Chain A
């Protein structure tokens, strides 16, 4: 797989998933950039994986948890424009809001539940693939998904009662 082609398609997806995961656009974008630097330097191995995007998301999530510290340490002036050089702010605003809205809903889940839900539902990965990326068993993935769905379902019920 060609890195550049994959990179152009995967970067926006990983960034969106991370914003939905953590609810912080600024921190998510820095962590995403750092994760792609690592994917690039390990492309021979990462490119052969079942889901390079899933791997990059997990790396970005780890960077995020370390408070961006390691990414910022090697950060250099890094700027970029949209591909045609024009601002893309209007559509982007709505997309950021949509991601933040999802992050609020996911905020009810535990960290592991969010990991599994984003990889499984966000990236459309199989349970086997999610298990491999997170280093857990497939049965744990299945149980965690069940718990997560239950937690999201409970939330909706509670919201309904409140509205009544």
Chain B
């Protein structure tokens, strides 16, 4: 007991970092005061911005703008050569091949689960090392109205607001993307020049294939050669797997990861790799070299406990009815995966269905719209 309290005392006494220059503090206080006292000036400034925007032909907006997904929602060709796209929630960015992409809950030190780490360092304690292991990036949900709007630019057709901070020699860029509902943080290592990596990551920012899969519109036809699968009363169509058999897997109980379970669980997986992207049950935390990307397959879970856990995540997008089934997309803790909860329609029970988001999202859309009661 006293050890913890002693360490707390030592941590506070030792402190962290150094105070920002006082001049910056004064400037910020002046700015806050101006903001409070001069709404007319704010309106005037907004008018000026609007005029400039009209003059250059762009229109920044905070409203969620989802383009016609079936035609061009996913900006193709923005992934640099030798890089790979990572889809998370409604956003997609690309990162250099070889970067590790662990989920927040992959770390053993209570890191918030609602964010995705791109190439973090790993401390001895199993925490993300955010101090001297840059370059790294973080994707996290963007709360409306929580970001500064002084600086903005148009990236792949989307308005991106930006901000920069330097703390203890480490420069961090904050990019706020209201139309995707995400915040992208990027840090570069102390002593290195600013960089190309950050601007290329930002340049790869795009809509997730998830949006294509979920947007209302024409239902795609199931291509020739696809297979119809049934599992405990639910049926769906899946792409061919080059002769590889569909796998039914039995996993042991797991106490960590996105879906902790109390007992064994069974699912089927049409993909060749384990879904979920990041390792999530590594004793002592995440370790390097252990993540795999989801492909174009499907994983269906029917274990009541896992389905119930899936409903804890907030719905992200609109629920819809597909062949009489209620399908609700939710905020998947994993990446490269569209997670939906399927229920109703006289199904024997609810299902969690995870669909890989490889490609443009049209494959996932086709699989999603093939769901029906067996």
Contacts and interface: CB of A to CB of B under 8 A. Distances in A.
A69 B183 CA distance: 13
A72 B146 contact: yes
Given A15-B16, A40-B26, A153-B1, A81 B35 contact: no
8 contacts: A3-B22, A24-B112, A67-B143, A75-B148, A92-B131, A98-B10, A101-B125, A102-B4
A48 B16 CA distance: 25
B41 to A, nearest CB: 14
Interface residues of B, number: 61
A37 B28 contact: yes
Contact of A102 (B1, B7, B127, B130): B7
B125 A100 contact: yes
Contact of A79 (B11, B22, B151, B171): B171
Contact of A80 (B20, B127, B146, B191): B20
> Closest 8 CB pairs between A and B?
A12-B15, A87-B169, A89-B132, A11-B19, A87-B190, A79-B166, A80-B20, A122-B12
Contacts of B125: 97, 100-101
A15 B17 contact: yes
A7 B33 CA distance: 20
Given A40-B26, A72-B148, A89-B169, A102 B18 contact: no
A93 B29 contact: no
Nearest to A74: B32
Interface string B20-40: 111011111101110100000
B22 A12 contact: no
Interface residues of A, number: 68
B169 A86 contact: yes
A93 B129 contact: yes
Interface of A: 3-4, 7-8, 10-13, 15-17, 19-20, 23-26, 29, 33, 36-37, 40-41, 67-69, 72-83, 86-90, 92-93, 95-107, 117-118, 121-124, 149, 152-153, 156
B227 interface: no
B218 interface: no
Contacts of B148: 72-76
Interface in B147-162: 147-148, 150-151
A118 B146 CA distance: 28
A23 B109 CA distance: 8
A145 B40 CA distance: 50
Contact of B1 (A40, A69, A99, A149): A149
A123 B169 contact: no
Nearest to B187: A26
B11 A98 contact: yes
Given A79-B171, A89-B190, A73 B8 contact: no
Contact of B4 (A11, A86, A152): A152
B240 to A, nearest CB: 44
B180 to A, nearest CB: 17
A119 B133 CA distance: 31
A3 B22 CA distance: 10
A155 B29 CA distance: 43
A73 B151 contact: no
B110 A25 contact: no
Nearest to B110: A23
Contacts of A17: 11-12
Interface in B136-178: 138, 143, 145-148, 150-151, 163-171
Interface string B40-65: 00000000000000000000000000
A7 B4 CA distance: 27
Given A86-B169, A106-B8, A26 B130 contact: yes
A18 B61 CA distance: 34
